[in-house]
Amino acid sequence: MNSTDRSDLLTLRDAVRDFAEARDWGQFHTPKNLAMALIGEAAEVVEHFQWRTPEASAALPEADRAEVALELADVLLYLVRLADVLDVDLAEAARRKLAINEARYPAEKAHGRADKYSRL
């Protein structure tokens, strides 16, 4: 596979891996620690929406959107690193989960509904 055939996700995985290796952070990047860091970063995303109305959360000021973008990037980076440490093909796992959800939530039953699949 040459570099033009690689997905953005694989390229990102390799960049995150190289970043961690250059700093000898592998010793700290256990699945437990990475999962905890992932949740911490996800909580930082949530803080930007806490106490806002649904309308205000959908119309963030540009400065807030820029901050949210960086927090989302942190979430993605920890997720990609965790998947790498666990040797999970994240793209394949996502495709598999999407197929499961397509079966659980057929469009003709789930359209416009927020019910769990067992209640459709």
pLDDT band at 22 (very low <50, low <70, confident <90, very high): very high
Task: Please count the CA atoms within 13 angstroms of the CA of 31 that sit on its side-chain side.
Answer: 6
Give Cβ neighbours of residue 3 (< 8 Å, ≥ 6 apart): 11
Question: So where are the chain's domains?
Answer: 3-87, 89-113+116-120
- Higher per-residue pLDDT: 116 or 51: 51
Determine the 3-state secondary structure of 56 from DSSP: helix
Average pLDDT over residues 32-52: 98
pTM: 0.88
Q: Is the dihedral of CA 52, 58, 62, 68 positive or negative?
A: positive
What integer pLDDT is reported at residue 117 of this predicted model?
Answer: 87
* For the ranges 27-31, 106-110, 112-116, the one whose mean pLDDT is highest: 27-31
- Which CATH fold would you assign to the domain 3-87? Helix Hairpins (1.10.287)
Residue 102: φ, ψ to 5°: -65, -40
Q: For residues 79 and 35, give the distance between their C-alpha atoms in angstroms, rounded to a whole number.
A: 8
